[in-house]
Amino acid sequence: MSSPVVASPVTTAPGLGTNPDKSASKSTPPAPPLSPEKITAACPLLRVVDMEKLNGGTWAAKAEEGEPVKDGFRCGYSTQYNRYSGYTPNQLLVIAVPGNASPAKELAVRTKDCTQPAVAVAGAGESASYCEIDEHRTLVMIGKRGHGETRVASVDVDRTRAEVYVEVAKLLAERL
């Protein structure tokens, strides 16, 4: 007897990074500079408009910069649904480690939350991957060296198509 096939939740997500709706461009903040000299916050690296597209459309989100963490910054993306349901908001964590540490080693530390082996992403920084962290979420991780430090970003996102994870990894690689 064969096992039943269970479909994973899928959302339809348009491309990241640009705002195709020109009428909304007045309310959409400009994209952050590519690879700033110094990282001073996480939220500007992945804007609300990027997160909305990543999660399949407009979900009336807001981004809130958290308290700085050791060597980095944290941004929480929440929606009205998150606030009232108790569902944990999506999180972006950006770490800048002084020196020339291996991005792959830095990412390996973050895979401890993965429930499945991480899938490598080519063409996004020096090291990038994604993995499932629970039945609803995927962790996208990117690491690269620049400006005298190793920069690592990890963002947990709602489960969707693999090409969306690749797209967000490449977007973060440009902006780190």
How far apart CA 43 and CA 33 sit, in angstroms, is 13
User: Tens of pLDDT along 9-49?
Assistant: 333 333 444 433 333 333 455 666 677 878 888 988 988 88
How far apart CA 3 and CA 69 sit, in angstroms, is 44
Backbone angles phi, psi at 24, to 5 degrees: -95, 0
CB of 160 closer than 8 Å to CB of 58: no
User: Tens of pLDDT along 121-154?
Assistant: 999 989 999 999 988 889 999 999 988 999 999 9
Cβ count near 141 (within 10 Å): 30
Q: What pLDDT score does 116 carry?
A: 92
Which residue type is seen at 126?
A: E
Strand, helix or coil at 136?
A: coil
pTM score, two decimals?
0.76
Q: Which residues, other chains included, contact 105 with Cβ-Cβ below 8 Å and sequence gap of 6+?
A: none
CB of 127 closer than 8 Å to CB of 110: no
User: Tens of pLDDT along 160-176?
Assistant: 889 989 999 999 999 99
List the one residue out of 85, 102, 103 whose CA is nearest residue 143. 103
pLDDT over 90 at 114, yes or no:
yes
Residues recorded for the chain: 176
Q: Which two tokens stand for residue 154?
A: 């990890």
Q: What pLDDT score does 84 carry?
A: 57
Structural element, H or E, at residue 76: strand 72-78
